[in-house]
Amino acid sequence: MNKQIRPGVYWVGAVDREIRTFHGSEFSTPHGTTYNAYLIQDEKTILIDTVAKEFTAQFLKNIESITPFAKIDAVVVNHAEVDHSGALPALMDILKDKPIYCSPNGLVSIKGHFHRDWRFLPVKTGDRLSLGSRELLFIEAPMLHWPDSMFTYLGEDGILFSSDAFGQHLATEELFNHLVSPSDLSSESLRYYASIVSPFSEQVLKKIEEISSKNWQLKVIAPSHGVIWVDNPQQIVQLYQRWASGYQENQVTIVYDTMWAGTERMAEAIARGIKEAGPTLGVELFHLGHSDRNDVVAEIFRSRGLLLGSPTVNRGMLSSVAGLLEMLKGLRLKGKKAAAFGSFGWSGEAIRLMKDRLVEAGLEIMSDGIACRWRPDDRSLEKCKAFGREIAAQLT
């Protein structure tokens, strides 16, 4: 299958409906994903990116449905992570000594992955490649999503090939943003930003500023995952600006894991207290052991505050909670307030440890938290409700 985006510009990628985890099992992909690759035909014929290795045959077939391989003059690798470069070895076995345009870090990364000496032509921001009647402009975009990432702009058509930026993990045959479910598109775009892009929010803002200063007539944003933004492509740019600028909604997220339901009872009582004192404040409650971690992260990303709960076990916290804290540390969320809670029987270290780890993850501690010894009784649960009311007062 190939699809024409504009005259002479085709999508030749792959739709992966079955993938359910990405980056090992770090990121869940309940709606699958796409690996978008593009072919531009002019006096020269250029490929932009490839697909994950498992989809190599489909990718090569898509290309052949448009042009013989002999007509392809070069490959642009915007980003060498293997979900986009996995089919490169098979492609280069056919294209032989045709050049690969990539960033200087792209060269390092491609060689590191494949250990092959293809004909690399490293490019930097501002370098151009004439295709005949049209021209490609390269823009390095380090950390969006890896140090090697770059964008490629086809000025005559107003198409920005943006690599991972502005993408979503959303498998669809439709490919264009106005043809898919708006709610799926919206939730998957935010999940993707929260779990993948948010550590690089500073770079996002700088890159958007750099691109906006060029006053391009941007008609299409063609990322490497999910839909191609053809209907009001600025909408995703504006969302990225908001998400990158300390985004928060009027919401608090309570996340806990529990052994014998003590910490769970506390979480429920805290939620009741918050609702009493802050009826307009949204409350999202997650049992971490039964929840998708990326859904949890997306709700934390949307929230003003996070309340994190774990019982004490073996002088520490439950490993699910420790894992979430490690993830939050990497995401470097800005402007979020947090507190810890949990039940314990003997030693009760989890609260202090969670608090320390929340600070390490860059969250502002808004309370020393609350602990209950043994199974919380009615009196303890009233204290949890009062704690919830205090939290609501701080967040509203």
54-59's contacts with Cβ under 8 Å and 24+ in sequence apart are 54/16, 54/86, 55/13, 55/14, 55/16, 55/86, 55/87, 56/86, 56/87, 56/90, 56/91, 58/1, 58/14, 59/12, 59/13, 59/14, 59/87, 59/91
> What's the min distance (Å) between Cβ of 59 and ligand FEO?
15
Sequence-separated (6 or more) residues with CB below 8 Å from residue 212? none
**Which range of residues in 64-72, 81-89, 304-312, 316-324 is near ligand FEO by CB under 6 A?**
81-89
Residue 390 found at the interface with ligand FEO (CB under 6 A): no
Contact mark string toward ligand FEO, 33..72, x via CB under 6 A: ----------------------------------------
Range 118-157, binding ligand FEO (CB under 6 A): 145-146
Residue 81 found at the interface with ligand FEO (CB under 6 A): yes
Please list the active-site residues.
23, 79, 81, 83, 145, 164, 192, 225
Residue 255 to residues 58, 157, 295, 339, Cα–Cα distance (Å):
42, 46, 11, 11
Rounded-to-integer distance, Cα 358 and Cα 360, Å: 5
> What's the min distance (Å) between Cβ of 44 and ligand FEO?
26
Task: Tell me the residue number closest to ligand FEO, measured at CB.
Answer: 81
H or E stretch covering 136? strand 135-140
Of 164 and 264, CB closest to ligand FEO: 164
Residue ranges of alpha helices (H) inside 154-261 are: 182-192, 201-212, 234-243
Q: Give the number of residues in contact with ligand FEO, rule: CB under 6 A.
A: 9
> What's the min distance (Å) between Cβ of 169 and ligand FEO?
9
Of 19 and 267, CB closest to ligand FEO: 19
Residue 286 to residues 155, 183, 265, 267, 326, Cα–Cα distance (Å):
46, 21, 12, 9, 17
Count other C-beta atoms under 10 Å from residue 128's C-beta.
12
> What's the min distance (Å) between Cβ of 199 and ligand FEO?
12
Residue 191 found at the interface with ligand FEO (CB under 6 A): no
Residue 79 found at the interface with ligand FEO (CB under 6 A): yes
Of 191 and 336, CB closest to ligand FEO: 191
Residue 225 found at the interface with ligand FEO (CB under 6 A): yes
Kindly report the length of the chain: 396
Query: Using CB under 6 A as the criterion, which residues of the chain lie in contact with ligand FEO when the complex forms?
Result: 79, 81, 83-84, 145-146, 164, 224-225
